[in-house]
């Protein structure tokens, strides 16, 4: 089967380096399930991985969907032909994350990911594609969608009467926008791009858009003003370091910042006084467990909503070209997307 | 001012007995607020009170809305002209209910209720009418609306991916129907009345209607079938005794029955095995605190939704007639209503 | 290996019927672990199983501890020589119980239990014996201990300032007594046996003993009196049907009845009014998951406390006698025990 | 009556400047309660207030206990002679803190505190002294004790099987030490002072002491080692900025840092990656509400435990001296205390 692998770390500012090759199918244990991958999607985390030194020869990407082609003897709840997605953490089934679950995330430093024709994982790592969804739609879900779900429904609750603040229009934020509106909450969302304001306002009266001057822009005051001075109940914070103080300043007394990403930096100089004085909570959110994914899929099946896909690229499993994949990486890196960047494997 | 009072207990099956009279305005303490009542609403509980022996000479009804006409010297957050509703439990502000809070419920055995021209209560008992609502709409809220809110958002959480079972089309069930749909949940609702099926289906694809033969009808099996065998996450159980086993049978493993009423009886013969074996929860819900009401009002102000009012009667504050009020009681007792029965005081 | 099996249902009042025989060792799958059983313990549930028709030829008992004698090729976290206990529900790992987990409980209708020389179960079903414990002590834990743990720390929280009501001195109640005291809570405990009062009072000032006239005795009023009229925060209710109204009457506003057993009957005629009016919760508790068991073992290892073992019987794995086992069953059935009834296999 | 007031901000390193004077008793509203103060205690926060510019002419100190000398006409649950403590936030009764509750904290920038002969506050601000406690013991509780309580039992739960990390031996840490041990948890505690190691070890086998080189010392690795590599469940972090990364590094996956103080600085440079990757929570804790204080007092009354008082100073209400009070401030500022610094008013 064809696999794609990351090459030595790219020069600063240059594009991601990839190679492709042939690999034998992985052996199938009694509890394993082999899947032919039909679509994958890219996340900001995949850029970080690709730019880190340790990723050489790694098969990248955590998100993929496909069709079961073979199941081990002891597998009971899946069969050939089932349409499935892999969980970002294939070994985090339920309860609390462990160090082992964490280090075996797909397409991270230690475990190959989904950018290959076939993937073999234990049966418990696969979650069924929502009924009626295409592989492209399903491939968009695992990392960004489940992150949004965990932030809004596992570490906090979100519903009528609450206001959620979202930062920018990347994958997680757009999933969170859809979910928060469905849950009856009001959404305040920031964007630096005037061209996105209208698209966001098209989501209806439940959305308040705030334009910020720059990535590290101030937004706390504008958010408080947009909530009558009260502040928001929850922030899904994809930015981290540079703006965490703004995030905290935007919260109401007792509100929660679900910290899901560090787009603006891993380090943050935080004014701790407001955490105490407003009794704030910061909750670290890292994608999610298989059990969370299953709850999320149940929620998706009860609605007509589909992922906001910015663009679908196509990569060919025949030949040795990697340009099609590199193009998808470049599009994500450009930050011009509104929703997810997907890659169909043909 | 005119007041209405319950008379000696009515004969079985006969209509509620009322008298009217004049009473002086109550004295106003420094933390009190006096309100001219413009509308009240009736609840099933008001029928129970009217039929009990202890209610003689009681001013009935817990639900009313009006305009502030005078505030005590020490009152800060309300002023003349504010539009307000009284909380069912005027002294239950936050945290857990107490015996004192419980015995001082409005229009119950020990405290006069809202069916009078003016009501004086401590400032903390009044909650502002949602912006843009009429007094009739506001009067529909306190008992039934807040009960539905507490069941769905205070003792459980309700959101996308969950299914809520509602029993019949009384006030609480219709409020719960609106709230659960807004929160992104699926609703299964029972009705004995073929004529109501179509009205319920008009709420859209998020609602599954189940016809039951009688009040004490079996519905657990039909509900499980409607949820693919899984059972529902939450039941808002207004019925109590006669059907509690059906309620429990309709729940998924780990599901919750929010017990909010006992329309079918105060006593229940319950099969306890399923509580253990499915790890079920039963949670008693009794209207709600002022803090819960304020959260509920915030949720209402964030939407365009209004209470489902079945019919508005009118009672005159001049003259000694009580027929107009008796008519409203009789309509509620008939069980023909779909939503709330409201009474405008003119 | 020797196994013991239940025979046809005993006559009312007569002793449990057992047979013994030889069985081949079960085959070992790649994720399985084989354990030589050194001790088992009996629970009230084992009497119910033995008296039910469906149990013919079943290997009974859910509780057992022993030593790993062989592990499958894919097993990583256990090895030969490890000392382990089986979880009551071998397939309930974490999260919510499922129908499948439920029907595969050890020694119930559908799955053989621990009363045999060797048991093979998937690796995930085994939990390590607390450091320094004997097999007899460890065998006492799984069903009764974990039930008490789930009631006090998984479906409620228990700590300083709280009061827990326990009913009688069976296995679950004595485990709960020890745990609640360790957590800094006050305990009120009922007993029908004057001879047990002193033993209970020996636990110290943190325990209030209430003598009741009979199994179906009234105790709510005495419990309220013992708590200054307030009522208790939590009841670990092992009795169910006949006394559930007393249990509810003993609770404070907002308190929780953890329903863990039905010693007094599966059916209960319950006065529902108090559930609403005091905002009570009833939570069904059924032993627990592997993850709960692991948390419980961690708590046990941090203390010097050991299970309260009433008596240790001995059964021989050689020969065909079943009398030694029948004697243990008879002792449990007598209700004279204070703590657990254990059986050593030699 | 005599009052003490803070003077203009002291020079860096010099002692706190105080003046005393006479003031008329405050007027008594219908819901107010007047209390003669018999003892007060000092907290680190009182040093911060005394050193800030805004505190000129402020009556300092949040913590005090005394005897009711007069109650307003409408007060029902307190009477002359009752022994009471004021809540740090006199207007935060229950539920979430508000901006108003926050700005009216006793002895902060905007509201006079307890260092005066008599204090008048609304009845709801006073909590009864635990039965059998002296005024000195009671005065030690409000700020530090309730902070520890909220951290361990309101924003987290603490019990058997859990490990709590405490930083140093100030007031909050010693209250938390006592509470965590009573709740059956294990405690790991740091100290910079070799002389305190033995005193801490005297608390028994449930306490592990870790010596750190300096205030900003590294301790995460030692804490992880002391917990078998797992990390602690909860940190009660009194230090804030300089050591927050160590705090986070000491936590297990999914653990919680209750941020209760900022002894080491208001600003913190935090490595955010570990918050995400270990799914950590940071929870801001700010003393507590009246309802929390009442739960705490109930817990205290159920045990024999008393506050760890380092030293009791005495201040005379007659004459104009302020030296006795200044001495207590100086002792607190020295950091030599182990437990609370109390001041008796005579």
Amino acid D239: pLDDT:
85
Amino acid C261: pLDDT:
87
Could you report the per-residue pLDDT of B24-33, keeping only the tens digit for each? 999 999 899 9
Average pLDDT over residues A110-115: 93
Average pLDDT over residues D155-160: 97
A259 touches chain D (CB under 8 A): yes
Alpha-carbon distance values, A155 to A184, A281, B294, D235, D255 (Å):
18, 11, 24, 19, 13
Amino acid D310: pLDDT:
94
DSSP state of B283: E
Residue of B nearest to A292 (CA): B161
| DSSP-derived secondary structure for B116-132 | BSEEEEEGGGEEEPPTT
Give the range among A315-324, D108-117, D145-154, D334-343 with minimum mean pLDDT.
Answer: A315-324
Residue A72 has pLDDT above 80, yes or no: yes
Both tokens of C330, joined, read: 């008879």
- Return the number of other C-beta atoms located less than 10 Å from residue A131's C-beta: 9
B94:D29 CB<8 A: no
- DSSP lists the bridge partners of residue B165 as B188, B235
Looking at every residue in chain B, the average pLDDT score rounds to: 93
DSSP state of C111: B
**Which of these, A260, A94, A100, A82, lies nearest to A168 by C-alpha position?**
A260
Amino acid B121: pLDDT:
97
Cα–Cα distance measured from residue A322 to residue A20, given in angstroms and rounded to the nearest whole number: 7
B276:C284 CB<8 A: yes
- Per-residue confidence band for A343, with pLDDT thresholds at 50, 70 and 90: very high
The CATH code that applies to domain A2-145+288-345 is 3.90.180.10
Give yes or no for a contact between C159 and C234, defined as CB atoms under 8 angstroms apart. no
Q: Which residues contact B111 (CB under 8 A, 6 or more apart)?
A: B90, B103, B104, B105
Cα–Cα distance measured from residue A250 to residue A235, given in angstroms and rounded to the nearest whole number: 8
Sequential pLDDT tens for chain C (346 residues): 999 999 877 777 677 888 999 999 999 998 999 999 999 999 999 998 998 867 688 999 999 999 999 999 989 999 999 999 999 999 999 999 999 999 999 998 789 999 999 999 999 999 999 999 999 999 999 999 999 999 999 999 999 999 999 999 889 999 999 999 999 999 999 998 888 999 999 999 999 999 987 656 799 999 999 999 999 999 999 988 788 999 999 999 999 999 998 777 777 788 899 999 999 999 999 999 999 999 999 999 999 999 999 999 999 888 778 889 999 999 999 888 888 999 999 9
- Asked whether the whole model's pTM tops 0.90, one would answer yes
DSSP H or E stretch at residue D178: helix D171-182
Average pLDDT over residues A301-328: 91
Could you report the per-residue pLDDT of C259-295, keeping only the tens digit for each? 998 777 777 788 899 999 999 999 999 999 999 999 9
Cβ contacts of A91 on chain C, cutoff 8 Å: none
Ramachandran category for residue A279: left, alpha or beta (phi over 0 → left; psi -120 to 50 → alpha): left
Residue D267 has pLDDT above 90, yes or no: no
C302:D186 CB<8 A: yes
**Which of these, D49, D50, D13, D42, lies nearest to D332 by C-alpha position?**
D42
- Per-residue confidence band for D146, with pLDDT thresholds at 50, 70 and 90: very high
Alpha-carbon distance values, C114 to A201, C4, C82, C288, D265 (Å):
63, 9, 17, 17, 58
B159 touches chain A (CB under 8 A): yes
**Which of these, A314, A315, A309, A316, lies nearest to A341 by C-alpha position?**
A309
| DSSP-derived secondary structure for B133-161 | --HHHHHTSHHHHHHHHIIIIISS---TT
What CATH topology corresponds to B156-284?
Rossmann fold (3.40.50)
Residue D216 has pLDDT above 70, yes or no: no
In this complex, the residue of C157, C182, C186 whose CB is nearest that of residue D184 is C182
- Per-residue confidence band for A216, with pLDDT thresholds at 50, 70 and 90: low
- Return the number of other C-beta atoms located less than 10 Å from residue A13's C-beta: 6
Both tokens of D340, joined, read: 């609370």
Cβ contacts of D29 on chain B, cutoff 8 Å: 30, 74
Cα–Cα distance measured from residue A186 to residue D335, given in angstroms and rounded to the nearest whole number: 48
Residue whose tokens read 């019949």: B168
Residue A194 has pLDDT above 80, yes or no: yes
- Return the number of other C-beta atoms located less than 10 Å from residue C199's C-beta: 16
Give yes or no for a contact between C49 and C94, defined as CB atoms under 8 angstroms apart. no
Could you report the per-residue pLDDT of B177-230, keeping only the tens digit for each? 999 999 999 999 999 888 899 999 999 999 999 998 765 679 999 999 999 999
DSSP H helical ranges for chain A: 44-51, 99-103, 135-139, 142-149, 171-182, 194-201, 220-226, 244-249, 273-277, 290-301, 323-334
Give yes or no for a contact between D107 and D329, defined as CB atoms under 8 angstroms apart. no
D276 touches chain A (CB under 8 A): yes
B153 touches chain A (CB under 8 A): yes
Residue whose tokens read 């969907």: A65
Give the domain ranges of chain D: 2-145+288-345, 156-284
Residue whose tokens read 């939990």: C127
A95:C291 CB<8 A: yes
Average pLDDT over residues B298-320: 92
Amino acid A151: pLDDT:
98
**Which of these, A68, A131, A88, lies nearest to A299 by C-alpha position?**
A131
DSSP state of D51: H
**Which of these, B35, B64, B27, lies nearest to B344 by C-alpha position?**
B64
In this complex, the residue of D268, D283, D286 whose CB is nearest that of residue A281 is D283
Amino acid C230: pLDDT:
96
Q: Answer yes or no: same fold for C2-145+288-345 and C156-284.
A: no
Residue of A nearest to D256 (CA): A283
Amino acid D53: pLDDT:
66
DSSP H or E stretch at residue C236: strand C232-237
Could you report the per-residue pLDDT of D79-99, keeping only the tens digit for each? 999 999 999 999 999 999 999
**Which of these, D269, D262, D254, lies nearest to D285 by C-alpha position?**
D262
Cα–Cα distance measured from residue A34 to residue A126, given in angstroms and rounded to the nearest whole number: 10
- Per-residue confidence band for B300, with pLDDT thresholds at 50, 70 and 90: very high
- DSSP lists the bridge partners of residue A23 as none
Which of D146, D153, D159, D163 should we substitute to test contact with C (largest number of C Cβ atoms within 10 Å)? D159
Residue A144 has pLDDT above 90, yes or no: yes
Give yes or no for a contact between A214 and A246, defined as CB atoms under 8 angstroms apart. no
Residue whose tokens read 């189940």: B210
D286:A279 CB<8 A: yes
- DSSP lists the bridge partners of residue B118 as B36
**Which of these, C28, C146, D276, D77, lies nearest to A155 by C-alpha position?**
D276
Residue whose tokens read 């098209």: A202
Helix axis angle for C142-149 and C290-301, nearest 10°, is 90
Strands D32-42 and D63-71: antiparallel
Q: Which residues contact A154 (CB under 8 A, 6 or more apart)?
A: A285, A288, A292
Amino acid A74: pLDDT:
87
Length of chain D, in residues: 346
B80 touches chain C (CB under 8 A): no
Residue of B nearest to A160 (CA): B299
Q: In the 3-class helix/strand/coil scheme, how is C212-235 assigned residue by residue?
A: CCCCCCCCHHHHHHHCCCCCEEEE
B281:C286 CB<8 A: no
**Which of these, B345, B298, B318, B337, lies nearest to B65 by C-alpha position?**
B345
Amino acid B212: pLDDT:
87
Average pLDDT over residues D4-13: 81
- DSSP lists the bridge partners of residue D121 as D33
Amino acid C53: pLDDT:
65
Alpha-carbon distance values, B188 to A325, B217, D244 (Å):
46, 15, 49
Average pLDDT over residues D165-182: 95
DSSP state of C30: T
Give yes or no for a contact between B174 and B147, defined as CB atoms under 8 angstroms apart. no
Looking at chain C from residue 21 to 40, which residues have their Cβ under 8 Å from any Cβ of chain A? 29-31
């Amino acid at each position: 089967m064809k696999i794609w692998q990351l090459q030595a770390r790219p020069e600063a500012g240059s594009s991601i380096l990839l190679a492709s090759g042939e690999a034998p199918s992985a052996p199938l244990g009694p509890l394993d399930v082999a899947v032919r991958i039909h679509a994958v999607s890219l996340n900001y985390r995949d850029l970080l991985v690709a730019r880190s030194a340790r990723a050489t020869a790694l098969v990248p990407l955590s998100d993929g969907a496909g069709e079961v082609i073979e199941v081990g003897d002891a597998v009971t709840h899946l069969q050939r032909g089932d349409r499935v997605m892999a969980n970002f953490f294939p070994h985090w089934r339920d309860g609390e994350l462990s160090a082992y679950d964490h280090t075996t995330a797909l397409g991270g430093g230690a475990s190959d990911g989904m950018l290959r024709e076939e993937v073999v994982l234990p049966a418990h790592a696969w979650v069924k594609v929502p009924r009626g969804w295409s592989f492209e739609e399903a491939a968009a879900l695992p990392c960004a969608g489940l992150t949004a779900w965990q932030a809004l429904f596992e570490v906090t609750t979100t519903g009528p009467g609450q206001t959620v603040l979202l930062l920018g229009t990347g994958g997680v934020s757009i999933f969170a926008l859809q979910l928060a509106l469905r849950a009856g909450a009001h959404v305040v969302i920031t964007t630096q791009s005037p061209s996105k304001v209208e698209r966001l306002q098209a989501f209806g009266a439940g959305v308040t858009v705030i334009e910020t001057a720059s990535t590290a822009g101030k937004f706390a005051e504008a958010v408080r003003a947009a909530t009558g001075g009260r502040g928001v109940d929850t922030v899904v914070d994809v930015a981290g370091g540079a703006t965490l103080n703004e995030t905290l300043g935007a919260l109401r007394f007792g509100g929660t910042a679900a910290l899901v990403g560090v787009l603006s930096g891993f380090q943050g100089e935080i004014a701790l006084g407001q955490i105490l004085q407003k009794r704030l909570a910061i909750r670290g959110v890292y994608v999610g467990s298989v059990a969370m994914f299953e709850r999320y899929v149940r929620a998706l099946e009860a609605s007509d909503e589909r992922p906001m896909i910015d663009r679908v690229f196509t990569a060919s499993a025949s030949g040795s070209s990697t340009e099609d994949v590199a193009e998808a990486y470049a599009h994500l890196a450009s930050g011009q997307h509104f929703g997810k960047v997907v890659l169909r494997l043909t």
